Amino acid sequence: MEPMTLQQRVRFYLEDLETPWGRAVNGAIATLIILSSAIFVIETYTIPASLEIVLDWMDWLILAAFTLEYGLRAWSAEQPRRYLFSLYGLVDLIAILPLLLGFLDLRFIRLLRWLRLLRLWRFLANQQLGGRLKTQDTLIVTRILFTLFTIIFIYSGLIFQVEHPANPDNFRNFLDAAYFAVVTMTTVGFGDVTPVSEAGRALTIMMILTGIALIPTQVGRLIGQVAKAKDPDQVSCPSCGLYGHDSDARFCKRCGNPLFKPGPNPSPDPMATEAISPASLEPGQPGVK
C-alpha cells in the first residue's frame, strides 16, 4: 500500500472519527462551534466591557480557525468544486463570512453568526458515529433532538438580532428571544411579546410556517422512536433496516429477505435457528404466491 500524500492525510483526519488524531481534530472543531455559539448567547446579556473585549477576541480567533479549516477542506477535497457547492461547503462558507466580508453592514454579518451551529450536523451525519453509539435508535433520537434544538437556537438568535435594536424592552436577551421562538413555533401565541420591525414580523411568519410544517414531523419521529424502544414485539429487517413488522412476520415487506427473530431462550437445534428462505416454502403456504 502506497503511503498517503499530505493532501490525502489532511482529508482523512478532517473526516475520521476512529483514530486518535481524527477524534482530536473533529473534537476540537466541534468544541469551537459550541464555544462560539455560547459566546453569542453571553453577548446578548449585560456584561462588563473587559469581558466583552475578551469574548470578541475569542470569537475572532475561532473565526480564523474556521477559515483555516475551510481552506484545508477545499484544498484536500478530491473534487474541490463539488465541496465548495455542497451543503456542508456552503454552511462552512457562511460560518466564515464575517471575516471575509467584515467591511459590510455589521448587522447583516451578525445574523450569519447564528447559523454557525449548523456545522455540527456534519458530525451527526457521519456514518462512523453510528458505531460509537450503542444503537441505531440512539443515533436517530440524537439527530432528531439536535434538529429541534438547532431550529429553536437559530430562530432565537435571528429574532434577537433583528428585534433588539428596535424593541429592547421585549427582547432584552437571548432567553426572551428563545421564549418568543418556542411560543411562536408551537403556535401557542400568548401575545405578551410581539415584534415591531418589518424584519421581525417576516421572521415570525417563517417561525410559524416552520412550526406547522417541521416541528410536528420531528416530534412525531421522536415519539415513534420512543414507542419502538418500548415495543419488543416489533421486528427490524437485518438487511434493509425497515422497522414495523408484525411479531409473526417471516419476511421483510420491503426487500423480502428473511427476518431473524431470536427468542429469549434460543433452541440448540440448528434447524430451529436456520434462516427461512422463500424457496424453502411449498406453493400454497402463506407468503408464497
Determine the Cα–Cα distance for residues 165 and 195; give it in Å rounded to an integer: 11
pLDDT in tens, 215-242: 778 777 777 766 665 555 566 787 877 7
Residues of the chain with pLDDT under 70: 1, 102-112, 125-137, 139, 225-235, 243-247, 260-289
Which DSSP symbol is given to 264? S
Q: Rounded mean pLDDT of the chain?
A: 78
Determine the Cα–Cα distance for residues 225 and 90; give it in Å rounded to an integer: 31
Instruction: Report the candidate in 111, 189, 123 with the shortest Cα–Cα distance to residue 155.
Output: 111
pLDDT, residue 289, reads 44
Q: Which residues pair with 235 in a beta bridge?
A: 245
- Rg of the chain over CA atoms, in angstroms? 25
Q: How far is the CA of 82 from the CAs of 77, 78, 284, in angstroms?
A: 8, 9, 53
Structural domains for the chain? 1-126 (1.20.120), 133-230 (1.10.287.70), 233-289 (no CATH)
Query: Model pTM greater than 0.85?
Result: no
Place of cell 429553536: 152
| Residue 137 burial (C-beta neighbours within 10 Å; 0-12, 13-18, 19+) | middle
Instruction: Report the candidate in 96, 120, 99 with the shortest Cα–Cα distance to residue 26.
Output: 120
